[in-house]
C-alpha cells in the first residue's frame, strides 16, 4: 500500500468586501495551511487567476492543473495542486457541470454560475506504479437540482474512467450542501458506491461539525459542506478538519479538509 494525503480547500475568492479577511491578508496563511497539512494533492475552489499565481509563488514544491469556469484562464478555478516530488500528472482535463459538459461557460439545471469539475490522473514519481485520479468540483450554491445532477455527472465520469483505466480515485470539493441531501447521499448509493471519508472521522459525519464558518470560526450546530469521497479500493486512514488560524487569521471562510489514505 502507498500512503498519501489529499485535501479539499475552498480558498474564498478575493473580495474587497472581506476587509481584513481579503485575500491579500490571507494568502500566506493559505499557503501555510497547505504546507502544514503535508498534502500531496489539493483540490482548491474559488481561486481567481491572480490569486492562484500568488499561491503558486508561495508553493514552489507544487505545480497546478486547471482552467477557469468561463473558459481558459477566465473566472474561478477548481485547480488541483500536486507535489512535484511525489506525483506526475499523466492525463487531465476540465468539464462543465451542465447538459453540455464540453462547452466552456455552460450552465445547467438552474445554476447561478457555470460550474466545473477539473480532474487529473497521477502516477507516483517514485516509479512504484501507484496511480490516483482526482476529481475536484464546486457545486452550485443556489440550485439543488444543479448540485444533484452536477455531482452525478462528476461521479459518472470518475466511474467511467475507473472502469477503463483501473486506477483508484477521489472526488472532492465544496458541495454547498449537507450530508443527507441528494447531491451527497447519492454518491454512497448504487450505482456510484463511493466511500465518504467522514466515515473515518471519530463519531462519523454527525460529529464533524461545520466546514464553512464565514471567518467566524467554530463548529457547533453545523454540518460539513466540503467533502472527500473515494473509490472502494482506497483505504482511509484518517480525516482531519483544520480549524487552526495562521498568523492570527483563518486562511479562508471554509476549513481545509485533509484525508490521509492508502492506495493499492
| Spatial distance between the Cα atoms of 190 and 188, rounded to a whole number of angstroms | 7
pTM: 0.97
**pLDDT at residue 56 in the model:** 98
Q: Do strands 169-174 and 226-230 pair parallel, antiparallel, or not at all (unpaired)?
A: antiparallel
**pLDDT at residue 206 in the model:** 86
| Spatial distance between the Cα atoms of 256 and 59, rounded to a whole number of angstroms | 16
CA atoms within 13 A on the CB side of 49: 9
pLDDT digits 0-9 by tens, 163-221: 999 999 999 999 999 999 999 999 999 999 999 999 999 988 889 999 999 999 988 67
Task: Sheet with 257-263: list strands edge to edge.
Answer: 62-65, 80-83, 41-45, 2-10, 257-263, 235-241
**pLDDT at residue 246 in the model:** 96
Grid cell locating 142 = 443556489
> Rounded to the nearest 5°, which phi and psi values hold at 123?
-120, 140
**pLDDT at residue 105 in the model:** 97
- Please tell me the class of the 2-263 domain: alpha beta
The percentage of the chain sitting over the pLDDT mark of 70, rounded to a whole number, equals: 100
| Spatial distance between the Cα atoms of 154 and 7, rounded to a whole number of angstroms | 18
> Rounded to the nearest 5°, which phi and psi values hold at 188?
-90, -15
Q: Please list, in sequence order, all residues whose beta carbon lies within 8 angstroms of the beta carbon of residue 65, skipping any fewer than 6 positions away.
A: 79, 80, 82, 89, 92, 118, 120
Grid cell locating 11 = 480558498
| Spatial distance between the Cα atoms of 184 and 255, rounded to a whole number of angstroms | 18
Helix (H) or strand (E) holding 239: strand 235-241
**pLDDT at residue 150 in the model:** 98
* Residue spans of the chain under pLDDT 70: 220
Q: Please list, in sequence order, all residues whose beta carbon lies within 8 angstroms of the beta carbon of residue 59, skipping any fewer than 6 positions away.
A: 31, 34, 35, 81
**pLDDT at residue 205 in the model:** 87
- Taking alpha carbons only, the member of 150, 129, 130 closest to residue 140 is 150
Amino acid at each position: 500500500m502507498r500512503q498519501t494525503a489529499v485535501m479539499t480547500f475552498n480558498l474564498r475568492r478575493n473580495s474587497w468586501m472581506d476587509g481584513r479577511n481579503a485575500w491579500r491578508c490571507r494568502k500566506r496563511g493559505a499557503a501555510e495551511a497547505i504546507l502544514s497539512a503535508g498534502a500531496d494533492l489539493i483540490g482548491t475552489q474559488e481561486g481567481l487567476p491572480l490569486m492562484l499565481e500568488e499561491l503558486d509563488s508561495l508553493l514552489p514544491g507544487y505545480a497546478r492543473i486547471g482552467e477557469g469556469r468561463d473558459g481558459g484562464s477566465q473566472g474561478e478555478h477548481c485547480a488541483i495542486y500536486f507535489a512535484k516530488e511525489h506525483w506526475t500528472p499523466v492525463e487531465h482535463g476540465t468539464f462543465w457541470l451542465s447538459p453540455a459538459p464540453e462547452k466552456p461557460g455552460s450552465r445547467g439545471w438552474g445554476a447561478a454560475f457555470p460550474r466545473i469539475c477539473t480532474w487529473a490522473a497521477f502516477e507516483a514519481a517514485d516509479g512504484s506504479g501507484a496511480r490516483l485520479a482526482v476529481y475536484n468540483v464546486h457545486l452550485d450554491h443556489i440550485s439543488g437540482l444543479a448540485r444533484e445532477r452536477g455531482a452525478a455527472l462528476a461521479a459518472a465520469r470518475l466511474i467511467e474512467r475507473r472502469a477503463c483505466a483501473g486506477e483508484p480515485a477521489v472526488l472532492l470539493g465544496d458541495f454547498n450542501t449537507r450530508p443527507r441531501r441528494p447531491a451527497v447521499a447519492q454518491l454512497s448509493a448504487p450505482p456510484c458506491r463511493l466511500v465518504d471519508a467522514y466515515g473515518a472521522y471519530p463519531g462519523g459525519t454527525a460529529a464533524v461539525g461545520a466546514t464553512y464558518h464565514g471567518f467566524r470560526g467554530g463548529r457547533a450546530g453545523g454540518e460539513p459542506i466540503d467533502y472527500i469521497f473515494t473509490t472502494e479500493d482506497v483505504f482511509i486512514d484518517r480525516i482531519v478538519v483544520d480549524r487552526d488560524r495562521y498568523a492570527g487569521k483563518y486562511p479562508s471562510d471554509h476549513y481545509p479538509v485533509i484525508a490521509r489514505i492508502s492506495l493499492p
